[in-house]
């Protein structure tokens, strides 16, 4: 079983419970992996001290993967707790550990976290490095990181007002989401393309995409206020 099989990022409390239950019946490396995810779930609930305590008590048992995950999750706790400089050092250490042990998915994850605590120029370079690692991997889960990384790269460009480059990234992220096949995330990715188009003043194209999203959501009996907001912005006088 992979940690993603137990994660519900919309419900970190439930995720914590799942990982605690998995750890209770596991041994060795598997127990260590589940407990690192307990720490991550605690961090997402704002329980940083509790998360650090879980990691403090955790022995990597000679497992390179557990050792890397301990450092990576401690970095996430420090970043979320408002200490990005400490987190950055830990993410760099996690990158080195993952590289040494040929843990491609953790390598990409650590790079993606390192980008989040870097300045704009470094963010681009680090994210591109993560994309290269993901693209060269034989592991399907690692390759599927390209969707998130491309979206992140698009946001880096958007944050400095370069929506032309952002659009290229969002379109590539959308293609990756279609390949992966998660309908909900694919809709979000299509929204990002439309958002970039609006910011490039390509309003008719943006409106067509948002209306298509609205029609899809209506058919599913769902709503998305962000879609409604964009349609309102695009149709106002």
User: Which of 60-64, 128-132, 135-139, 222-226 shows the lowest per-residue confidence on average (mean pLDDT)?
Assistant: 60-64
Tell me the whole-structure pTM to 2 decimals.
0.90
For residues 217 and 227, the answer to whether their CB atoms sit within 8 Å is yes
Predicted confidence at residue 236, as pLDDT, reads: 87
Overall domain count for the chain: 2
Residue 86 pLDDT > 90: yes
Domain ranges, residue 182: 144-237
Domain boundary among 72, 107, 138: 138
Domain boundary among 75, 105, 138: 138
Co-location of 119 and 32 in the same domain: yes
Co-location of 103 and 124 in the same domain: yes
For residues 20 and 38, the answer to whether their CB atoms sit within 8 Å is yes
The CATH code of the domain that includes 210 is 1.25.40.10
pLDDT (tens digit per residue) in 135-147: 999 999 999 999 9
Co-location of 17 and 108 in the same domain: yes
Predicted confidence at residue 120, as pLDDT, reads: 85
Co-location of 210 and 127 in the same domain: no
Residues 6+ apart with CB under 8 A from 55: 35, 36, 39, 70, 73, 74, 77
CA gyration radius for the chain? 19
Higher per-residue pLDDT: 10 or 175: 175
Predicted confidence at residue 237, as pLDDT, reads: 54
């Amino acid at each position: 079983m992979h940690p993603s099989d137990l994660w519900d990022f919309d419900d970190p409390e439930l995720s914590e419970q799942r990982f605690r239950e998995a750890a209770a019946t596991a041994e060795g490396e598997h127990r260590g992996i589940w407990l690192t995810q307990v720490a991550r779930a605690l961090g997402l609930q704002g329980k940083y001290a509790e998360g650090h305590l879980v990691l403090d008590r955790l022995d990597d048992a000679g497992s390179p993967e557990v050792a890397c995950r301990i450092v990576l999750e401690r970095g996430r706790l420090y970043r979320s707790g408002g200490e990005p400089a400490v987190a950055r050092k830990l993410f760099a250490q996690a990158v080195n550990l993952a590289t040494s042990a040929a843990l491609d998915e953790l390598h990409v994850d650590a790079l993606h976290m390192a980008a989040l605590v870097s300045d704009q120029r470094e963010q681009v370079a680090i994210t591109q490095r993560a994309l290269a690692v993901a693209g060269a991997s034989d592991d399907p889960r690692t390759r599927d990181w390209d969707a998130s990384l491309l979206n992140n790269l698009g946001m880096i460009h958007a944050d400095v007002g370069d929506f032309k480059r952002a659009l290229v990234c969002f379109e590539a992220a959308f293609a990756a989401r279609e390949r992966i096949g998660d309908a909900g995330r694919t809709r979000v990715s299509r929204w990002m393309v439309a958002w970039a188009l609006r910011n490039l003043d390509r309003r008719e194209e943006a409106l067509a995409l948002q209306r298509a999203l609205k029609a899809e959501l209506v058919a599913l009996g769902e709503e998305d206020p962000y879609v409604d907001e964009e349609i309102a912005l695009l149709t106002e006088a």
